[in-house]
Amino acid sequence: MNLYGYHELEQDLDHIKSLRMSMSELGTMGCSVLGKKIPYIRIGKGPIQLHVNAGMHANEWLNVPCLMQFVKKYMTALEEQQDWQGCLSDGWSEQVTLWVVPMLNPDGIELVLNGPDAHPFSTELLEMNGGNSDFSGWKANIRGIDLNDQFPAHFYEEARRRSVTCPGPRDYGGEHPLTEPESRALAEWTKDKKFDMIIALHSQGEEIYWNYRDYEPAFSEEWAQQLAAATGYAPVKLTESDAGYKDWFIQEYGRPGFTVETGLGTNPLPVHQYTPIAAEVERLMVSAIRLLLR
């Protein structure tokens, strides 16, 4: 497993296009600050709507190929009529529509992987990074806004708690919610699709966050325990954490939402964790689909 950026994602999407499946769709759900298309993949045509995203934080890019590995396995099984994980016999694609956004923050991920050299914002980026040319720890989008602190779920309370007052590598959510094209596109797309359940892949810690200020459904904790059993992760009830995508989704719709922190260590996680994390993401997604089909 090598470094995986926007170019590698485009190569994987080209492979998916070659499958020409009637029950799949590739599209764009928005654009980044620098105009990169933010792709989505739809698999299935069922009435139950499941969404999963990755790559919201730039230095958590390893989740992108892990999620794409699941997508490719699932789509290949459908294309070749293989009953992988019971996907055919259990009628996954007829009952569940899976919407995947594999890389929400392409500008930030490219910055982490390639650095600021020859970048149109290189001067501003170096200033935001304290003059340090090492951007491996950068979480934010290219404007120094943390996309997972951008959502209108007690946004200003979270901003006061963070006490970060200017753009930078992490934890600055901006002056107001949804100022960034990436977070705004995800919120608008979510409103349009009316998902029954969402999963946001982050790293690290091997934990599953399932609650938000008691807005979540009564069964969310049990579902988190089921997802934890599938992955080996720990279900965790959070307090004093706001403005994330999962938080906003639960508050807005009262439906189950989960932030899943993959891997262990310091971000960016080492590439050698790709194989175990990809296996855990596969088990996570299979478990999520089965929960929705119960």
Give the residue numbers marked as catalytic: 261
Q: Dihedral of CA 205/187/164/141: which sign? A: positive
In the DSSP assignment, the letter for residue 115 is: -
Helix (H, G, I), strand (E, B) or coil at 184: helix
- Under 8 Å between Cβ of 93 and 46: yes
Position 293, amino acid = L
Q: Which two tokens stand for residue 80?
A: 């070749």
CA atoms within 13 A on the CB side of 195: 29
What stretches of the chain adopt beta strand conformation (E)?
A: 24-31, 37-43, 48-53, 96-101, 197-203, 207-209, 234-236, 257-262
- Could you tell me which residues are beta bridge partners of residue 101? 53
Neighbours of 114 (CB within 10 A): 14
The rounded distance, in Å, linking the Cα atoms of 108 and 59 is: 8
Q: Dihedral of CA 62/54/21/287: which sign? A: positive
